[in-house]
Structure 1
Amino acid sequence: MYRASQAGHPTCPPTTPATPATTPTGRPTGTPHGLRRLNAAPSAAAEAALLGCLGSRRWAQRLAAHRPYAELDVLLAASDEAGYDLSFADLAEALAAESPAGPPPGAPAAARTALRAAHAAYESRFGHAFVISLDGHRPEESLDHVLAAVRARLAHDPDHERSVAADELRRLARSRITRLIAGPPEQPGRRPARAGLPEPSPGCPDSPSVAV
């Protein structure tokens, strides 16, 4: 949910590839092409693209208003800061924008039934879809991890669960922003994305972070 280019000396190329400068998190420095496109997009288009990362209008407007961003890490830090500042209403709006995702392809019928029951129990108790970041979990582990997390979080009181869900939304937003900025380049004959901005592929979950 693009990498800085590196140029060698025009006449005396190094004998070994130069290591690009990186941020403290290991990403190349400089402004990625996708980030330049987001920076240059009209406000409405930038807000619409960001809303696909976290469904709070105030959050999306704040990030769009603070452009341009020099690096992805700066945008991600701004996303975190705006996420921590979400009001009760902002958080409710963002959670309402999330929708349950189905089990992975090939999951057995028993697992599908268990997941549907877990979704229903969670939504009945808390009034919104269950959200979780699966960063750091292998795909084959995701279903078991989700089921265990739903069952554990059903024991939370509403205030505690709201705080946990907000943390998960911030993690989801980071993954989705990264995918947005690193989206595939446009291909000939493909419908243009919103105002030149990259879009997630249709039907593609927010791997490795999904709303479940």
Structure 2
Amino acid sequence: MTSVDALNAVDSDAAAAMLHPCCASTAWARAVVADRPYPDLDALIAASDPVVYGLSWADVEEALAAHPRIGDRPKVAATTEKRWSQGEQAGVADADAEVLAALADGNAAYEARFGHVYLVCASGKSAEELLGILQDRLDNDPAHERDVVRGELAAITRLRLEKLFTDESAEVRS
């Protein structure tokens, strides 16, 4: 577990490295670090959302590059991001082959349509729910989908900040 006080105490590069597992956008980390000190986790989380929503699309794409496809399970979860992704996608672990195949097809269709990975805050959702969300979002126009992606990235970042600063097993290794 890391404390907000520890984030406040280290230099900017170390603070950005601490935050990287929460959101892999360099611009996000720099902006959040620049607003230190934070009195508590709630203040840090409150500062994060406007930064996510203000990122350039290139910065969002940098963050997206750290997220696996829904349904893809890395064989070894060597980094904090991969371990967290596995936990967040736990609802896919017991999915049947048909649903996994539909997710793979949906991921391919989504990436062909929008040019990036399908991002959704998967925590607490079943494979069937994630597939339904994906299928619904395929109908979005690209501008609207970018707004949806920012919202999902903000939600994932909030969840991961909470993990980083409250979860005893959230030792950061990147």
- Misfit runs of 4+, over 4 Å: none
Answering whether residue 168 of structure 2 is matched by residue 199 of structure 1, we say: no
Contact 1:100 / 1:129 at 8 angstroms: preserved in 2? Answer: yes
Contact 1:34 / 1:198 at 8 angstroms: preserved in 2? Answer: no
Residues 144-191 of structure 1: CA distance to partner in whole angstroms, max 9, x if unpaired? 111001000001111111111011100110001110111316xxxxxx
CA–CA distance in 1 between the matches of 2:144 and 2:109? Answer: 17
Contact 2:70 / 2:107 at 8 angstroms: preserved in 1? Answer: no
| Structure 1 residue 79 displacement after superposition | 0.2
1:52 is aligned to 21
CA–CA distance in 2 between the matches of 1:160 and 1:81? Answer: 18
2:139 is aligned to 155
Residues 112-140 of structure 1: CA distance to partner in whole angstroms, max 9, x if unpaired? 111111111111111111111245xxx4x
CA–CA distance in 1 between the matches of 2:49 and 2:146? Answer: 16
Amino acid at match of 2:155: R
1:146 is aligned to 130
CA–CA distance in 2 between the matches of 1:182 and 1:105? Answer: 25
2:119 is aligned to 131
Please identify which structure carries the higher helix content.
2
CA–CA distance in 2 between the matches of 1:169 and 1:184? Answer: 23
Partner of 1:52, secondary structure, is coil
Contact 1:181 / 1:198 at 8 angstroms: preserved in 2? Answer: no
1:70 is aligned to 39
CA–CA distance in 2 between the matches of 1:124 and 1:181? Answer: 36
1:177 is aligned to 161
Amino acid at match of 2:39: A
Partner of 2:164, secondary structure, is helix
TM-score (norm 2): 0.79
Question: Runs of 5+ in structure 1 lacking a partner?
Answer: 3-32, 186-196, 203-212
Q: Which structure's CA Rg is the greater one?
A: 1
CA–CA distance in 2 between the matches of 1:105 and 1:86? Answer: 32
User: Structure 1 residues 58 and 199, CA, compared in 2 at 3 Å: closer, same or farther?
Assistant: same
Higher mean C-alpha displacement, 70-79 vs 38-47: 38-47
| Structure 1 residue 41 displacement after superposition | 2.5
Tell me the number of residue pairs that the alignment of Structure 1 and Structure 2 aligns: 155
Question: Runs of 5+ in structure 2 lacking a partner?
Answer: 72-90
Contact 2:70 / 2:118 at 8 angstroms: preserved in 1? Answer: no
CA–CA distance in 1 between the matches of 2:99 and 2:119? Answer: 18
